[in-house]
Structure 1
Amino acid sequence: MLHGFEQWVIELLRDLMQSLGWIGVLVAMAIESANVPLPSEVIMPLAGWMLIKEQNLPLYFVFWAGFWGAIGNTIGSLTNYALGIWGGRPFVEKYGRWLLISKRDLHRAEKWFDRWGDKIAFFSRLLPVVRTFVSFPAGVVRMHPIRFTIYTFIGSFIWCTFLAWLGYITGENWEVIRAYMRPFDIPILIALLVLLLLYIKHKWSEFREFDFNNSSYTPEGE
């Protein structure tokens, strides 16, 4: 079933790129960064083959592909970031205790993103699965928007250029790239699930002893 879905995605992307060219790459990567299952491991290698190699364009056009892919990634990521600020944060502040997220947790996350947010925004763009979902929590904790945009673009540019290059050098066999990368999805998903379960276990024990959501809590230094 998964393979059939990916074949449908490939045909959809072919039509999109044939109709819109590089704008099609931008649109596809923006959708991918907005939590829609259009794998970049399919989009960018296809662009490297279809819009560069098949058009007999020189290799340096992979940087052009990386640029359009990164622009799309950044647009989609900023959409998720905005949702985190305007929708996710009010939801967490109001209903966070039902998700085992206290006001103190939110403040800790803000401090953590303030210190490490640049690296998170950058390196997450180089990881399958994680790269799609990091923007929303960055918005929830209100990471600095300019820094978020800059590091998201840089990380996305490197990732998109690399995948476009792979599509260029593999030519008509570009689809093998996704086949080689697909096995990495499962270990990452398992690791994220384990971390989630450990967090739930820790927070459940904590919440049984303390009420971190009471209104008397104020962040450190205030």
Structure 2
Amino acid sequence: MTDAPALRSRRSSATVRALALQAARDLFDERGYEQVSTREIAGRAGVTQALIFRHFGSKANLFVEAVYEPFYEFVADYLRRWAEQGHGNTNSAEDTEIFVGGLYQLLLNNQRLLAALAGQASAGSPELPGHAARFLRDIFDRLEREVAQETTAQRTTTMDPAYAVRFAFALVYGVAALDHALFPADQPSPNRETIIGQMAGYVLRGASLQV
């Protein structure tokens, strides 16, 4: 019989990271940041605690990546689709609605984790804000480069892509975070499709500097 440690030793770095991130995401979502230890995460993932620290450096780094990794993957998939179409050959309205809709749903699905991250950052955890900013910067930089190439290809006049990307993300993030306050269940409210369509239109009009 092959023992478990031998099986674990043959796992690739990508597999170990994926297992750790999923275990961390599940545990942090269930109990929050403070109540979860790296030992528990390692146990849930079926890896050693040493591997957790080797791949992520600290519990804080693992927390940030567990929260934001789905957003990174979403942006990567979106940009791959964009690249396949070719710059200048896209439908701006349709692509913006796809991006806004996907991001909005992802934010709604991860509300508890995002709230936990914000709570820990505001509580003075020294590592979290800096690591979160670096992780998001990578996402924003990739989007910014693509937006700049697209506007050049289409010869359109837009606001600075750096601001356009960040303001669009902030809009969708804010609407998702304040979902129940903006659209209370006890009052008539628009459906998700209407909210997404209105946000996408707002992003497009704002980015194109139309008045």
Same fold by TM (over 0.5)? no
Question: Structure 2 length normalisation: TM-score?
Answer: 0.29
